[in-house]
Structure 1
């Protein structure tokens, strides 16, 4: 059984590969799990929530393993469209534009790439965000 905060290596590897391509981003341990930042602003945070403290996530675990979630930022105009259907995206209970994504074997990693890149664009200085190619 994993502990709260633990993230499977395959998920960390995918996110590391993605975030490494974003200008001046860096990875650091967070209070739980791992986060990626640009300057002092977090644009992605991945962790396994403590389902005793946050029972909402308990239904997304698999067997003895709890769920793995990632938080990221979205433009406020996109918030409702992304979270309206529920799983795998939910509005976080903090921040005005923070979304929680459940990461599992059904995860669309192409979509995660776009969402993390957009989150980076929102949090990065404009000159760094401008270095990124526009996604189609």
Structure 2
């Protein structure tokens, strides 16, 4: 299983998550809002996802070999995770779940409890 396949399984396990190709790469959405996207950054596979305020800076400072501030959306707090570096899949799943919860409508979150 490739790292993209593992990422896809994590993302699509979330309620109402869908995959849509955008910018020639997979994006993962909930009710048509992106919560994670695959991107080639500096020629290497990565995933970008939303992060709570302050988390991006903490992760990038603590592990710059794994995390980075992505262009375009980094100024909005998104975090980039390198998929070709050693990946802590539990940590990545937690970051993806958090991004989903920051994106999903509150009503959907209440419905799933």
1:15 CA displacement: 1.6
Question: Mind listing any 5+ residue stretches in structure 1 that lack a counterpart?
Answer: 1-8, 50-56, 58-65
Task: Give the counterpart of 1:47 among 30, 39, 43.
Answer: 39
Give the structure with higher Rg (CA).
1
- Consecutive aligned runs of 4 or more in structure 1 exceeding 6 Å deviation: none
TM-score by length of 2: 0.84
Residues 88 and 102, structure 1, Cα contact 8 Å, conserved in 2: yes
* Bigger mean CA deviation after superposition, 36-45 or 75-84: 75-84
TM-score by length of 1: 0.71
1:17 and 2:17 matched: no
The structure with higher relative contact order (CA 8 Å, sep 6+) is 2
1:52 corresponds to: none
Q: Is the 8 A contact 2:66 2:86 kept in 1?
A: no
Q: Deviations over 1:84-118 (max 9, x none)?
A: 23221111232311111110251111111000000
Report the aligned-residue RMSD: 1.8
Counting helix residues as a fraction of each chain, which structure ranks higher?
2
Structure number with higher strand proportion = 2
